[in-house]
Structure 1
């Protein structure tokens, strides 16, 4: 028995959407600013790779430490490194039983995150991070997740607690921004503290 096929398909397409955006990155882009305060594109991609690896390990039933989730430089061959990590996490979730409880040290201290919940967390992260990369490259307007992926990510984003926890160093998301209309992708970004109008030149 495996996680619901529809959920796995949405997750795969969310991750593949991020792969398509990362494929546009060149070594000369790695110093670009990103919507993640204080992070260059190289920093963001290192984070994305280690998160893929960490979630994949959790889906395989492995127990990791917080240190295992610390981003490491990925080098200039970032597209290939990223693709390998993305393939790994999609494959690991595809083999994960729906009643499994995943060890995620960054979430609830690592204790007992149900596999479908972890899948949803990972999906929304990569809808948002794909946009982060696209925005850093100045091509955010060309990025759009599939409608059903965006709808699912929006439902997950609405469940992410807001408040003071988002202001501490290392918080996964900044405090939510005020609603300002727009479709599901824009709503997701605002709920998770992103400004849909962010641009790398600050305009």
Structure 2
């Protein structure tokens, strides 16, 4: 079940907090490292994250244009600024529906999707830098129904890898396995094509 808009914004705030910790280990020396998504090295993933934060922020006005990301000379600083802008925009936002391209999306669902993308890519960053910080149990628990709602069979091999068997019953293991991510051993590179804009959480 997707929470009301204020609950979705609170979920987004927790996802941003988790990912902020993962970003603390990013510097120029690790930008060329592989990530769990085979489509991106770490620098490419950070650019994708920046583009997604822009799109989700724009959506707070009720409409978003899907477009390719713009490069940034300081990716982590840019992400920190964009994260603050995103949270501030949705804390003040009132739209019930957001038009993404030609598709109307309920605002709480869009914000919950943003929370899912932010947290999962935070995990990807942590894997690439070697921190390996797990998704907090309560956050993973609250994101799991979002993932089941927004990820369809058609997304597999396009935005996400194939669903894996979870290693245990912990919420983070279940969430990440559903999204094609392997918690055991070195990062398992997911063969998925990158998307842009809201929902491109490969």
Bin of the TM-score, shorter chain as denominator length: 0.7 to 0.9
CA distance in 2 between partners of 1:137 and 1:173 (Å): 21
Structure with larger RCO (C-alpha < 8 A, sep 6+): 2
* CA pair 21-177 structure 1, distance change in 2 beyond 3 A: same
- Is the Cα–Cα contact under 8 Å of residues 154 and 184 in structure 1 kept in the other structure? yes
Shift, 1:52, TM fit:
0.4
Map of 1:85 onto structure 2:
82
Correspondence 1:2-41 to 2 at 5 A:
4-41=5-42
Map of 2:146 onto structure 1:
156
CA distance in 1 between partners of 2:64 and 2:121 (Å): 25
How many pairs align? 186
- Is the Cα–Cα contact under 8 Å of residues 176 and 192 in structure 1 kept in the other structure? yes
Map of 1:115 onto structure 2:
107
Map of 2:197 onto structure 1:
none
Correspondence 1:97-116 to 2 at 5 A:
97=94, 100-105=96-101, 110-116=102-108
- Describe the SS at the equivalent of 1:93: helix
Gaps of 5+ in 2: 190-202
Correspondence 1:30-179 to 2 at 5 A:
30-64=31-65, 66=66, 68=67, 70-75=68-73, 77-97=74-94, 100-105=96-101, 110-140=102-132, 142-145=133-136, 147-167=137-157, 171-179=158-166
Shift, 1:166, TM fit:
1.7
* CA pair 174-88 structure 1, distance change in 2 beyond 3 A: same
* CA pair 188-158 structure 1, distance change in 2 beyond 3 A: same
1:55-109 deviations in Å (ceiling 9; x for gaps): 1101122341x3x2x123222x222111011111111111222x5211223xxxx
Gaps of 5+ in 1: none
TM-score, normalised to structure 1's length? 0.83
